[in-house]
Amino acid sequence: MLIKVPKTSAAKENQITDESVYHRRRDIIKSMGFVGASSLLSSTSAQASFFGNDDKSFKTQALDYAPDAKQVSTKLTPEEKIITHNNFYEFGTGKSDPVENAQQFKVNPWRLSVEGLAENPFSLDYDDLFKQFPLEERIYRLRCVEAWSMVVPWIGFSLAALIKKAKPLSSAKYVAFETLYDPKQMPGQKNRFAGGGIDYPYVEGLRIDEAVHPLTLLSVGLYGKTLPPQNGAPIRLVVPWKYGFKSIKSITRIRLTDKRPPTSWNRLAPNEYGFYANVNPSVDHPRWSQASERRISGASLFSRNRIDTQMFNGYEEVAPLYDGMNLRKNF
């Protein structure tokens, strides 16, 4: 259920109205039995749905959650964009590959184990992901290292809550994450070239103080529903002040450790992708500028949606985590 908190300023209300129009449109499309408007034009899945066989698309479910109290005034990226433009190399390296190849992905049963240097290691099954911790909505900006960005209404819970439950030992300095390894379901893991040369399973890591920062989210849904597979179902990380590749998808393992864990993109190209990967407009990617970004908004091609990239993606409150660190060196 999506509850919009009434805004004190009328202007802000206007800025999100677009989305409600959008929701109506999706309902109409759904009632017609199509996957979604855009997939009608995408190559392979289009035909299947056009001839009335819609059962192949992944089914998401509505979630109960507390809406984001401090709703941002920025316009949300339309849901259709968020669920069709994805980097999830396990399902192919093209932006539309995940939505085309992930619809059969099995998320239930699922097992997320929390282990390592902790007093109380535990694991969560599929239902636990939605029941163990109260769910809340967080509207975050997502900045991809490829210099595009979105505004996404995530639903989930703080990673801090999960880590607290595990009771980490004082020796735990880092948190390591691992995506499901299942080449049968993930074509990118089966074939080295289809998966873009990444050594699977995909792994990521955070320093423990980054991991327990209140902004760090474990997301189980977006736009009021459970996550579609292409967005990292059933559970994914969201670290809004870091480049998108840090926000690892379809997590099966969270491990507390005393050593800095390896991270997939850093392993593949250490000169291009660092461990920290904080959004930083003054440190360019070796092959393109990070000073500005294109906000994917669903507006026309001619709309001026190139905006300046902000330090820490605008989440200045994380700056103290990096006091005294050379962020150019630790990119």
Q: Site residues (CB under 8 A) for other proteins?
A: 37-38, 41-42, 80-82, 84-86, 89, 93, 95-96, 146, 148, 193, 196-198, 268-269, 284, 287-289, 291-292, 294, 296, 298, 300-302, 304-306
Question: Are 143 and 309 within 8 A, CB to CB?
Answer: yes
CA distance 271 to 250: 26
CB of 77 to other proteins, least distance (A): 9
The residue among 167 and 306 lying less far from other proteins, judged by its C-beta, is: 306
Which ranges constitute the DSSP H helices of the chain?
10-32, 43-50, 79-82, 97-101, 126-131, 159-166, 187-190, 208-211, 264-268
The residue among 18 and 128 lying less far from other proteins, judged by its C-beta, is: 18
**Residue 59 DSSP one-character state:** P
CB of 80 to other proteins, least distance (A): 8
CB of 203 to other proteins, least distance (A): 15
Instruction: Locate 83 and state its tokens.
Output: 């669920």
The residue among 84 and 216 lying less far from other proteins, judged by its C-beta, is: 84
CA distance 47 to 271: 42
The residue among 44 and 120 lying less far from other proteins, judged by its C-beta, is: 44
The residue among 168 and 195 lying less far from other proteins, judged by its C-beta, is: 195
The residue among 129 and 144 lying less far from other proteins, judged by its C-beta, is: 144
Question: Are 35 and 14 within 8 A, CB to CB?
Answer: no
CB of 276 to other proteins, least distance (A): 19
Strand, helix or coil for residue 147: coil
CB of 251 to other proteins, least distance (A): 21
Question: Are 130 and 63 within 8 A, CB to CB?
Answer: yes
**Residue 242 DSSP one-character state:** B
CB of 1 to other proteins, least distance (A): 26
- Which residues on neighbouring strands pair with residue 99, listed in sequence order? none
Instruction: Locate 60 and state its tokens.
Output: 């998401």
The residue among 28 and 269 lying less far from other proteins, judged by its C-beta, is: 269
Residues with Cβ within 8 Å of 64's Cβ and at least 6 positions away in sequence, in order, are: 1, 135
The residue among 109 and 286 lying less far from other proteins, judged by its C-beta, is: 286
* Amino acid in position 2: L
CB of 271 to other proteins, least distance (A): 13
Residue 116 C-beta-side C-alpha neighbours within 13 Å: 22
CB of 304 to other proteins, least distance (A): 6
Q: How many other CB atoms sit within 10 Å of the CB of residue 54?
A: 14
Instruction: Locate 130 and state its tokens.
Output: 């939605």
